[in-house]
Structure 1
Amino acid sequence: MQPPVHLIDETWIDALPATVSAVVADPANWQRWWPYLTLTVTRDRGVKGMQFAAAPAPGSGWPALTGTVEIWLEPFKTGVILHHFLRLEPAGGQPLTARAARRWTREAGWHAKQVFWRLKDELEAGR
């Protein structure tokens, strides 16, 4: 069974994998990218990305969700495909309705697009 909030997304960025990897590895970005989660690194894959354990961020306006977040960086042509995986379920066993799960998956997807398109714009500036 798939977690209630399950997101798979990708964005192509015309920048070197090492450049994108350095931004992904910077903890200062995580709170901005996932303000509704508190992240703990579970696996630093270097230039290939990172994996995180996710816990709810207090006061975010989101339901208390827990699970995993992953960024996988795949070199492609002159840049990298940033794959973003989000697998979250309610903390403490409180179930989400199907409607709420769809809503929060849409919210997370829209937020991720804004975050990673902004990153794309920043890293591709002047190219």
Structure 2
Amino acid sequence: MKDTRIDVVDETFVDAAPGVIRAQLDDQAWADQVWPHVRREVVRDRGVKGIRWTVTGQVVGEMEVWIEPWWEGAVVHHYLRGHRQPMAPRDVATRHVLRWKRAVHGLKDRLEDNSL
């Protein structure tokens, strides 16, 4: 049997208050654009520290965004653990990472006002 496990770990520093970063996770339209391949159900809302979901769809498992205060900003940790489903593209984990990096760096640029 083929190994369908997915284990994604990412960390990005954002020079913004953890509460401001956390507010972005409540924007369902934003979250749906970042993660269109999974349906999310909140398992644990940690307030300003982040949120954990169970996910179904192309990946079945759990996903989390953990916001760790660091100096004047925060390290945004992102995890996805689960199994790729048969209907999912083989590179679903890579696509997930690329969508997340695009989204978190867009958030970083907006909150840090790093527009070119």
Question: TM over 0.5: same fold?
Answer: yes
CA drift of 1:6 comes to 1.2
Q: What is the root-mean-square deviation of aligned Cα atoms in Å?
A: 2.1
Counterpart residue number, 2:79: 85
Q: Secondary structure at the match of 2:36?
A: coil
CA drift of 1:39 comes to 0.6
Higher helix share: 1
Contact 1:25–1:50 (Cα < 8 Å) also in 2 = no
Determine the C-alpha separation between the residues in 2 that align with 1:34 and 1:122: 19
Counterpart residue number, 2:9: 8
Counterpart residue number, 1:53: 54
Counterpart residue number, 1:125: 113
Higher strand share: 2
Q: Is residue 115 of structure 1 aligned with residue 114 of structure 2?
A: no
Determine the C-alpha separation between the residues in 1 that align with 2:33 and 2:51: 16
Percentage of identical aligned residues: 32
In terms of mean alpha carbon deviation, does 82-91 or 24-33 score higher? Answer: 24-33
Determine the C-alpha separation between the residues in 2 that align with 1:82 and 1:122: 15
Counterpart residue number, 1:18: 19
Q: Which letter does structure 2 place at the counterpart of 1:49?
A: G
Q: Which letter does structure 2 place at the counterpart of 1:40?
A: E
Contact 1:3–1:87 (Cα < 8 Å) also in 2 = no
Contact 1:5–1:89 (Cα < 8 Å) also in 2 = yes
Determine the C-alpha separation between the residues in 1 that align with 2:34 and 2:63: 11
The answer for unaligned runs of 5 or more in structure 1 is 57-63
| TM-score, L = length of structure 1 | 0.78
Q: Secondary structure at the match of 2:16?
A: coil
Q: Among residues 59, 68, 73, which one is paired with 1:74 in the alignment? A: 68
| TM-score, L = length of structure 2 | 0.85
Query: How many aligned positions are there?
Result: 111
CA drift of 1:40 comes to 0.8
Q: Among residues 96, 104, 111, which one is paired with 2:92 in the alignment? A: 104
The 4+ residue runs of structure 1 with deviation greater than 6 A are none
